[in-house]
Amino acid sequence: MTMRTLGSLGLEVSPIMLGGNVFGWTIDEKQSFAVLDHFVDRGFNFIDTADMYSNWVPGNKGGESETILGNWFKRGGKRNQIVLATKLGNPMGEGKKGLSAAYIKQAVEASLQRLQTDYIDLYQAHIDDKETSLTETLKAFNDLVQEGKVRIIGASNYGGDRLQEAESISRREGLARYETLQPHFNLYHREQYEKDLARVVAEFSLGVIPYFSLASGFLTGKYKSVADTEKANRAGMLGKYFDERGLRILKALDAVSKETGAKQASIALAWLLSRPNILAPIASATTVHQLDEILAAADLKLSPDQLKALSEASAYKE
């Protein structure tokens, strides 16, 4: 496994980022600890969560994932082995959302408390807040960096124009800049990223951390038809992928799997890792076995012909 460099501080991160959205959702604390321990034991160190995870679960309020991570840090003393990323901005209850200076100050303290740490390596705007000026948001983030509570900042779910505007403000005002982008990008969902964001990413040398990198499990090959998805936790999200193009992608993944002996999940992630400016795809796991399939992508080298076949199968209409 070759480590990659995150941001201006030169933080060394693993080429796979473990998604913490499942902690407190599809796996409990004990199961989460097992996945986290195995992740670190395998030499990986990059973990993603968000304050809102997992407030969509009945009975949850948000903060469950961060709380489990905090308990894991306290139990094992592994905080200094981890490059930790979390996010804010999505709704967390009445009046708790957005990227205003006042709310950023409130949200970071809540996350630090749940995570049982005094700093966050990568703090990200989870979603663009067009009701708050980018200058106000960036000044608030800059204050956190100056205070040592945050090391670097990043953006998620921003459009290309807004990213450019944020970069201009940071340069003009001498503020901390977004150094990473967390977009929706995978073999199936390519067009938005490639047409709107890739050019900005290249221009400003942003590290890209794709989410839904396995298309909610579709790209793993686990599901062969819509009927197969009916009992899945993300059943409502999976059905849309079973169109002509989606089935073509699955066929190409299967062919490469037979050639290499690698699992389809590993292949889909390896394709992402071959793309320009990709720092580390985010992938979640609910078992150690599932995690090993994901981590195998870090050492999987696909041939030019295999990469071409996957790119052609997933090509979208211009």
Strands 120-125 and 150-156: parallel
Q: What are phi and psi of 105, to 5 degrees?
A: -65, -40
Cβ atoms 204, 167 nearer than 8 A:
yes
Distance CA 116, CA 47 (A): 15
Distance CA 279, CA 40 (A): 18
Active site residue 103: no
> Within a 10 A sphere around the Cβ of 250, how many other Cβ atoms?
22
Cβ atoms 109, 140 nearer than 8 A:
no
Distance CA 86, CA 83 (A): 10
Cβ atoms 54, 91 nearer than 8 A:
no
Task: Report the SS3 class of residue 116.
Answer: coil
> Within a 10 A sphere around the Cβ of 113, how many other Cβ atoms?
13
C-alpha distance across the termini of the chain, in Å: 36
Pick the catalytic residue from 53, 103, 123, 188: 53
Q: For the chain, state the CA radius of gyration.
A: 19
| Helix and strand numbers, DSSP H then E, in the chain | 12, 10
Task: Report the SS3 class of residue 252.
Answer: helix
Q: Side-chain half-sphere of 4: how many Cα atoms within 13 Å?
A: 19
48: DSSP letter: E
Distance CA 79, CA 102 (A): 28
Q: What are phi and psi of 215, to 5 degrees?
A: 50, 55
Residues known to be catalytic:
53
